Structure 1
């Protein structure tokens, strides 16, 4: 019988033609100790030496790093491959153009080791993340003070109100691996923006949370081809709508969720995704975009009429649901103001 202790955490790094920046990502994770696991997923890279770099890293650190080479499946397919291979008690995704702060990394690892040693496995650990705006050299830290008490294990009934920009995104989330597996979360292949599914579908399976207020994840903003670039997102509106449909289908109606605060949080997150999908459709403005927007609302009403009406009245959605051309222009104007204030996209 093996007495080998499981890895504390698996970090998955999806890589697609990432040779120019993946080394910095890997280096930011290494040094955390021998009880971590790094899974580099080479997602069918063909335009550079990503595959060779991944193998070199694994050869240099065989007890820590493993590599998966697969045909291109997109970000979601790479994350799912990493989840299948993960042996860590906890699980975190770090995109290959992003990195971790080393001091914050060590504090997170110490916290996770304490949970494991005390046989008190928290389902979801939340940490801060930082938008690193390469063009301006500025930073924006996303914190959860006010929404989550710090350094305390809590249930959903103890969470506060999440403010604008405080949704728990993939960058902030470290899940217990078994929670992800129990939730049955599946990320579709060849689809962008699957990180919203990753942090949304498992929520009803999360019973305990812990907020560690350290600036762990550094999220690179500024590449022209980046998936969160507004022009790119509008061009991929069909994929954004696909993600919205999956989240609507995954939404658990409030009557079926024991915690009203979890239900409120899930509804607010879904409202944000619906508002974003509507807004990008309005900015694009063509007949096909309007058809997709109409289909999105039809799917909402098919899911549950009460839910659709409630979401339609949500403050985030109201401003994106104006019917007239003047209303459309007003919505876009307000969106541009919010964009400057919060520095997204």
Structure 2
């Protein structure tokens, strides 16, 4: 059995996937690298995946499937994972070697120790094209460092400071037991990957290292603002799915409840701001319908989100009211790393 399984969803990723895979190879035999070719047809992605499996037997595995989108690729990785822990690294991203070694040391300590770790959190770096100063998403103010802790020990998450897919490693069995299965042919499902398992997480550990390098800057990336507006229907779909997983108002652990409510708040805000930024009346109707959907499904949560600072800000009346959310938009940029 492997210590860590890393799934790399690949779709026509020939131009950059080698950099990603090569950054993970120093993990050696303790790590399995699951290269998921999600129906690539336009380049040599499938051949490169097979090449790594041939050259690094027992470490790299090539998984080929019909195109199902990012979520389907993550699902395939999880289904095939034999590692005790599971991580997703997108094919245009990479990891820092020194931090990687610390991550593996930490995981190894729990595997061979007496205590069970459900979720490991580390920092990630925005590797934005053209940026001289690289922004680091860290959790020093929110999480205890270098110790096992639970939700009672969590401190304060600042606005815009969230645990994203880039920063999390889950215990593989936990993901399988909570029934995690991401929707196919849908973007922005990384939010579901982080959000759905949270109530099942009992123990956490924060390692203050800049492990994950999150590349942003390509025009075809899903977090490009123009593309996000064009895919607003998928953003709304993911938001509705997240609203339906749990009645968060009934979660007894109040710090977990508070965190999950805030996560849903940012998802509602992003969907609303994309509609406003589009300057499309059709999208404004979709925004209105989303808030009505929440009102119908969970009135208590609706009141909390609609009359909170962000909810009020994105629902101001009239065209002049649409100007104020731009300030909120800058905060959400930190959450998603918009271009």
TM-score by length of 1: 0.95
Partner deviation per Cα, 1:131-154 (whole Å, 9 max, x = no partner): 011122431100001100101111
| Alpha-carbon distance change, 23 to 137 in structure 1, aligned in 2, over 3 angstroms | farther
Query: In the alignment, is residue 276 of structure 1 matched against residue 270 of structure 2?
Result: yes
Residue equivalent to 1:36: 31
In the TM superposition, residue 330 of structure 1 has moved relative to its aligned partner by 2.2
| Structure 1 unaligned residues grouped into runs of 5+ | 1-5
**Contact 1:272/1:317 (<8 A) preserved:** no
Residue equivalent to 1:262: 256
Segments ≥4 residues shifted beyond 6 Å: 339-343
Residue equivalent to 2:149: 154
Query: In the alignment, is residue 195 of structure 1 matched against residue 186 of structure 2?
Result: no
Partner deviation per Cα, 1:293-320 (whole Å, 9 max, x = no partner): 1221122112211110011122232211
Q: Please tell me the root mean square deviation across aligned C-alpha atoms, in Å.
A: 1.5
Residue equivalent to 1:3: none
**Contact 1:132/1:138 (<8 A) preserved:** no
Residue equivalent to 1:12: 7
Aligned length, in residue pairs: 338
Query: In the alignment, is residue 287 of structure 1 matched against residue 281 of structure 2?
Result: yes
Query: In the alignment, is residue 86 of structure 1 matched against residue 62 of structure 2?
Result: no
> What is the aligned counterpart of 2:337 among 330, 334, 344?
344
TM-score by length of 2: 0.96
Rounded to whole Å, the distance in 1 between the matches of 2:87 and 2:298 is 33
**Contact 1:241/1:296 (<8 A) preserved:** yes
In the TM superposition, residue 67 of structure 1 has moved relative to its aligned partner by 1.0
Residue equivalent to 2:291: 297
Spell out the pairing of 1:79-158 with structure 2 (5 A cutoff): 79-158=74-153
**Contact 1:16/1:45 (<8 A) preserved:** yes
Rounded to whole Å, the distance in 2 between the matches of 1:43 and 1:339 is 29
**Contact 1:281/1:290 (<8 A) preserved:** yes
| Alpha-carbon distance change, 23 to 125 in structure 1, aligned in 2, over 3 angstroms | same
Query: In the alignment, is residue 54 of structure 1 matched against residue 46 of structure 2?
Result: no
Rounded to whole Å, the distance in 2 between the matches of 1:308 and 1:92 is 33
Q: Larger deviation: 61-70 or 91-100?
A: 61-70
| Alpha-carbon distance change, 274 to 136 in structure 1, aligned in 2, over 3 angstroms | same
**Contact 1:254/1:260 (<8 A) preserved:** no
Partner deviation per Cα, 1:7-52 (whole Å, 9 max, x = no partner): 1010000000001100000010011121111100000001110000
